[in-house]
Structure 1
Amino acid sequence: MASIASNITSFLPTREDILRDGILTSASKNIPLTVAVAIIFTLLLNTLLTPRLDPREPPLLKPSIPFIGHIIDMFRYQAKFHIIVSRKSNDKYPVASLQMLNGKMYAIWDPEFIASGFKNKILSVDPIIDGYIDNLMAPSREGLKVLISPEGHDMTHEMIKHLIPTALRGVNLEKMTRTALGQLALTFTELAASPTGEQIPNFYLWARHLLCFATSTALYGKPEHDPFRLNPNMEQAIFDFEASLLQLSLGLPFPSITAAKGFKARQILVKGLEPYYGKKFYEFPEASEFVRARAQKLQSDPGCKLPVSDIPKVEIMVPFAAMGNSAPTLFWLLVFVLASPQERRDRLRKEIQNVMVLDSPDSGNSSEVRMKVSHLLIENECPLLKACFRETLRVSVHQITSRVVTEDTVIQNSSGQEYLLKKGTQVQMSAGNVHKSPGWWGEDADEFKPERWLDPQNIKTAKTAWVPFGGGIHLCPGRNFAMAELAAIVAIFVLGFEVEPNAKGKKEWKLPEYRLGSLVDAVSKPAEEGRGFGVNVKARKGWENVKWNIEYAS
C-alpha cells in the first residue's frame, strides 16, 4: 500500500504549488484527506480491474504503477524489459501473468517452458502477423485480403513447413553457400593485395557491407540482376527499416511522418526489388532456390494468387531476414575473437589450419589459399570455432518471440509442472532472459566465454537454455547458411590477416557498447552503429598477395 501511495502522490502537486497557483479551494484545503481519498479510490479501482486468474494460470505480477506500469517499462526498457521484471522477482517465477491495464499477458522465462511453448501449435503467430502485415508491408487492398485469408494462412504454413526448409538444405544450401564463399574469396583476395592494408574507420559498417554483399549475391544471382548491386542504398534501407519496425507495426496515422525513416526505407526496398520480380529474374538458374520458390508460390498458388505488384512488398522480408541478424552477429563474432587472449587465438588458428585448410603459404604454396567450409564441417570438426559462434549468439541475441493462445492449452516442463494458458492471451518468450540467466550459465553469464561450450557438463545447459534460432515450426531455416558464411569470414581473418584496433586513435581493444535492444529485433547492435570503433587490417607476413579459394565441404 505504501508503494501505491508513493506512486500516486509523486504525481500530485504540493500545497505550496497549489497556493502559488491560486487554485486552492475549500474542497482541496485538506491535502492529506485528498491523498487518502485518491489512495482508496485507486485501491478500489485496482481491485475491480485486476484480471481474474484461474488458479492453474501463471501467477500474476502487478506493475509498480497500477494498470500501466508494465506497459511503460516495456517501451522504456525494450528487450531488457523481461530481464528486469524477472530479476525483480528474484527469478522466482518460470512463467508469469503480467497485468496490462485490466488485461494480462503471459511471460515465459524458463527455457524448458519456452521449449514447450515453441512446440505447442495452439500458440500461434498468425493473429500477430495478420495484425502487422498491412502496417509493415503496405500491400494493396486485394493483396492484404489474400494474405490474411484462410487460403493465405494455408499458403504461409506450406511455405514455412515445406518450401522454405527444402530451399535451404541439400543441393540448394550448397549452391547458396558456394556463391557466398566465392564472393568472399574475391573480397579477401583484393584485401590481401594491398601493400599497406586497409584502415577501416567503422568496423561494424565494413563487416555489415561484407556480409550483405556476399548474401545478396547468393540470394539473387547474377550481378546485373542483384537489386543490392544495382541500388547501393538498399543495404542501409534494410537496417533503417528494422530500426523502425516498432513504429511501423503500431499503425500510427500518417506513417510518412510518424515513422518517417522506416516508411522511406520500405519505399527504397520495394522500388529496388520491383525490377527483379517484375522481370522474373528469379527464374534464371543463378538465383537461389529460396528466392525462386517463394516468388513462384506467391504468384501462382492456385488457391491464393497474390497480385504481381504486391510480391516486392512481401519479399522485402527476405533480405531483412537474411541480413538483419547475420550482420551484427558477424561483427560481434569477429571482435570477440580478435580481442580474445592470445592463447585462445592460437588454438583457434591451429584448429582452422588443421581442419579447414587444404593449401596455404605455410605449406609451401604462396600463391593460393585453399579452404573448405560448410556448416557440417564446423559442427563436427571445429569445436572451438563452433563454440565461439554459439557463444556470440548467446550473448548478443535478445529476441522476444510473441504468440497468441488460440485455444485454452497447457505448457509443462520436464518435471511435470504445468501452467494453463487461456485463449486470446498474448504470450512473450524472452531468449535474452534465458541467455543471460546466472542460474543457467553462472555468474559470468554476461561474458563472452566460449570455453563453457567445451565442458561436457554444460552440454545439457546448452541444449536447454540456448534458443537463438527460435523453435518448433519457426526454427530459423537459414541458420546453417549463416554458420558457414560467418565461420568462413572469421577463419580468413584468423589465418591470413593481422588486425589491430584503432578506436578513436587508441590501439587497444575496447569494444563498443550495446545499443538498447528493441522489442522487435533479435540481435544487439553496437551503439551509434559502431561509430568510433575502427581497425587496421593487413595481410600476415608471408600471406601477402595470396589468392583465396574457398570451397564447399561436401
Structure 2
Amino acid sequence: MAPFYKRFAENVTQQVNLLHDRAEGECIHRDDLMQMVGDAVTVSTLDALCGPHLLRLNPDFLHDFWVFDRNLQTYLQGIPWLLAPMAYMARKRVLKAVQIWQQHARDNFDDSAIGPDGDDPFWGTSFFRERHDMFLEMDGFDHEAIASEDFGAIWASRNSITAAFWAIFEVYRDPKLLASVRSELEPCIQKDDNGHIHFDINHLLRLPILQAVYAETLRLRMHFYIVRMPDRVDINIRDWIIPRRKVIVALTTVAHMDATAWDTGANNEHRVDQFWAGRFLRYPAGQRTDRSGVEKQTSDATSPTAPTFSTKHVDGAWIPYGGGPRQCPGRHFAKRQILLTTALFVTLFDCDMLGGAENMGEDFSLKGFGGGVSHPVGKVPVRMYARGVSG
C-alpha cells in the first residue's frame, strides 16, 4: 500500500493547499462541509487508486459516486426502478464509467507503463490490473462483470472519506480540542519552496490526541454488520451454541455503545452516544481530563504530563474494522488517510459552523444505516478562513 498512500498524500496535500491559496484574504462559504472535504479526498483517493483516467474520462463520476452511496439501501432492499429512477440511473452511470476507464486501460496499457512500484497510470494500482487478469480466467466473467466487482472495491473507500469529514467536524466544533490538536501538530509542520505545508505520516502516527480523535470518530460513527459462519464445528460462547453452517450477524454499534466497556468520565459525564476523544487517552496517575480529553495543551509528546494513545484497554469492544483474519485489509491506509486529511484542514483553515450545524447528528434512517460510517442528517454549512501557518 505504500506507493498508493504516497500518491494519495501528495495529491490531497496539493488539493487542500491550493484550496487554502484560493481562500487567502477572503472568507469562503460552503453549503456543506461534508462535500468540501469529500470532494478533495475523493479526487485524491480515486487518482491514487485508479490513476488519472477514471475521472478524466468521466467528469460526473464524483457526483454519481455519492448519489450511489446515499442510496445503498435502495439497492439492498430491492426497491423497484420505477420508485427510485434517479438512484438506479446513478448506479448505471458509475458502472458505465468504470467500464469506460477499463476499456481505455485495455486499449493503451503495455508492460512498459509499469513503474518501479508495480503500478501504472492506466490501471492505477496493480491491484486492479491483476484482478482483471484473474477474473478473465474465471467462467462467466466478462468486462461488465469485472467493472461491477471493481466498482465495489472503489466504493469501499467511502468509509475513510466520510470518517475524515466527521473527524474534522468534531475537532472544529470543540474549541479546546481544536487548540490541543493544533498544538500537537505544530512541530510536525513542514513547508516546501512554494510555502505549502505538508506532514510526514510517521510523525502523525505518533500524536496521541490526533489518533484519539480518529479512534473515537470510528467508535461513534461506524455502523456495519460483521457476518461470520462457522464452517467446521459448533461454537460455544458463554454457554450459547452457534451451530456450524449457520450465519452469525453482529452489529458494531452494539459493542461501540456498551457503556460497561467504555470510559465515560469520573462522573459519567461523557455518555457513549457523545464524542469524547479522552476514551482513548491514558494519562499519568492522578491526572484528570477536561471535556476534550486533554488536561494541558502540550506539543511535547515526551512531556511527563502528555497523554498516550491506546486501544488495548478496549480490545474486543472497539471493532470498526471487524476482527480476526477477515478484518478490513485497508485499515492501515484508512488511518493514514483520516489523520492526514484532518491535520491539513485544521491546520490550514479556521471554520465557523452556521445554522446550528455544530449540533448536527447522524442519519440513523434505513437509508444508509449499517453500510459503514454514517452520513450527517443534513448539510453542514460553514464559513472558512485561510490561516497563516508558520513552519
CA distance in 1, matches of 2:311, 2:364: 30
For structure 1, which runs of at least 5 residues remain unmatched after alignment? 1-172, 547-554
Are positions 1:313 and 2:148 aligned together? yes
Q: 1:399: how far off?
A: 1.1
- What is the identity, as a one-letter code, of the residue corresponding to 2:172? L
Are positions 1:274 and 2:99 aligned together? yes
What does residue 290 of structure 1 align with? 127
Aligned length: 344
- What is the identity, as a one-letter code, of the residue corresponding to 1:329? A
CA distance in 2, matches of 1:459, 1:329: 18
- Correspondent of 1:425 among 242, 246, 256: 246
**Contact conserved, 1:270 with 1:313, CA < 8 A, in 2?**
yes
**Contact conserved, 1:248 with 1:259, CA < 8 A, in 2?**
no
Residue identity (%): 20
What does residue 515 of structure 1 align with? 363
CA distance in 1, matches of 2:222, 2:330: 16
- What is the identity, as a one-letter code, of the residue corresponding to 1:306? F
Q: 1:542: how far off?
A: 5.6
Are positions 1:383 and 2:220 aligned together? no
Are positions 1:237 and 2:64 aligned together? yes
Q: 1:273 to 1:438 in 2, by over 3 A?
A: same
Q: 1:245 to 1:369 in 2, by over 3 A?
A: closer
1:302-335 deviations in Å (ceiling 9; x for gaps): x557222321122110221012x12321111001
1:371-422 deviations in Å (ceiling 9; x for gaps): 3333x5433x11111111001000101112233454551143xxxx342112
Please give the residue correspondences for 1:225-264 in structure 2 after superposition, counting only pairs within 5 Å. Answer: 225-226=53-54, 228-251=55-78, 255-264=80-89
What does residue 4 of structure 1 align with? none
Q: 1:229 to 1:340 in 2, by over 3 A?
A: farther
Q: 1:192 to 1:239 in 2, by over 3 A?
A: closer
**Contact conserved, 1:244 with 1:261, CA < 8 A, in 2?**
no
Please give the residue correspondences for 1:528-539 in structure 2 after superposition, counting only pairs within 5 Å. Answer: 528=378, 530=379, 533-539=380-386
Q: 1:277 to 1:542 in 2, by over 3 A?
A: closer
Q: 1:189: how far off?
A: 2.6
1:128-171 deviations in Å (ceiling 9; x for gaps): xxxxxxxxxxxxxxxxxxxxxxxxxxxxxxxxxxxxxxxxxxxx
Are positions 1:497 and 2:381 aligned together? no
**Contact conserved, 2:17 with 2:196, CA < 8 A, in 1?**
no
**Contact conserved, 1:513 with 1:527, CA < 8 A, in 2?**
yes
**Contact conserved, 1:373 with 1:484, CA < 8 A, in 2?**
no
Which structure shows the bigger proportion of residues in helix conformation?
A: 1
CA distance in 1, matches of 2:130, 2:56: 22
Q: 1:251: how far off?
A: 4.5
Q: 1:511: how far off?
A: 3.0
**Contact conserved, 2:209 with 2:281, CA < 8 A, in 1?**
yes
The 3-state SS of whatever aligns with 1:298 is helix
Q: 1:439 to 1:541 in 2, by over 3 A?
A: same
- TM-score between the two structures when normalised by the length of structure 1: 0.57
CA distance in 2, matches of 1:297, 1:236: 30
**Contact conserved, 1:180 with 1:215, CA < 8 A, in 2?**
yes
**Contact conserved, 1:242 with 1:262, CA < 8 A, in 2?**
no
CA distance in 2, matches of 1:274, 1:267: 11
What does residue 527 of structure 1 align with? 377
Are positions 1:348 and 2:173 aligned together? no
Q: 1:403 to 1:262 in 2, by over 3 A?
A: farther
1:27-48 deviations in Å (ceiling 9; x for gaps): xxxxxxxxxxxxxxxxxxxxxx
**Contact conserved, 1:440 with 1:461, CA < 8 A, in 2?**
no
- TM-score between the two structures when normalised by the length of structure 2: 0.79
Q: 1:511 to 1:231 in 2, by over 3 A?
A: farther
CA distance in 2, matches of 1:191, 1:174: 26
CA distance in 2, matches of 1:447, 1:385: 17
Q: 1:481: how far off?
A: 1.6
Please give the residue correspondences for 1:114-125 in structure 2 after superposition, counting only pairs within 5 Å. Answer: none
Are positions 1:465 and 2:317 aligned together? yes
1:447-489 deviations in Å (ceiling 9; x for gaps): 2111221127975432221000112232111122222222112
- Correspondent of 1:205 among 35, 45, 62: 35
Please give the residue correspondences for 1:61-80 in structure 2 after superposition, counting only pairs within 5 Å. Answer: none
The 3-state SS of whatever aligns with 1:306 is coil
Q: 1:439: how far off?
A: 0.9
CA distance in 2, matches of 1:359, 1:238: 33
What does residue 56 of structure 1 align with? none
**Contact conserved, 2:235 with 2:244, CA < 8 A, in 1?**
no
CA distance in 2, matches of 1:205, 1:479: 23
What does residue 21 of structure 2 align with? 193
1:32-71 deviations in Å (ceiling 9; x for gaps): xxxxxxxxxxxxxxxxxxxxxxxxxxxxxxxxxxxxxxxx
Q: 1:246: how far off?
A: 3.4
CA distance in 1, matches of 2:104, 2:320: 36
**Contact conserved, 1:328 with 1:523, CA < 8 A, in 2?**
yes
What does residue 25 of structure 1 align with? none
**Contact conserved, 1:176 with 1:288, CA < 8 A, in 2?**
yes
What does residue 393 of structure 1 align with? 218
Please give the residue correspondences for 1:82-101 in structure 2 after superposition, counting only pairs within 5 Å. Answer: none
CA distance in 1, matches of 2:320, 2:221: 9
Q: 1:542 to 1:479 in 2, by over 3 A?
A: closer
Of stretches 447-456 and 235-244 in structure 1, the one that deviates more from structure 2 is 235-244
**Contact conserved, 2:13 with 2:344, CA < 8 A, in 1?**
no
Are positions 1:448 and 2:285 aligned together? no
CA distance in 2, matches of 1:277, 1:377: 37
**Contact conserved, 2:163 with 2:218, CA < 8 A, in 1?**
yes
**Contact conserved, 2:311 with 2:318, CA < 8 A, in 1?**
no
- Correspondent of 1:357 among 167, 189, 198: 189
For structure 2, which runs of at least 5 residues remain unmatched after alignment? 114-119, 286-309
- What is the identity, as a one-letter code, of the residue corresponding to 1:318? A
**Contact conserved, 1:183 with 1:214, CA < 8 A, in 2?**
yes
Please give the residue correspondences for 1:21-170 in structure 2 after superposition, counting only pairs within 5 Å. Answer: none
Q: 1:401 to 1:204 in 2, by over 3 A?
A: same
CA RMSD of aligned residues (A): 2.7
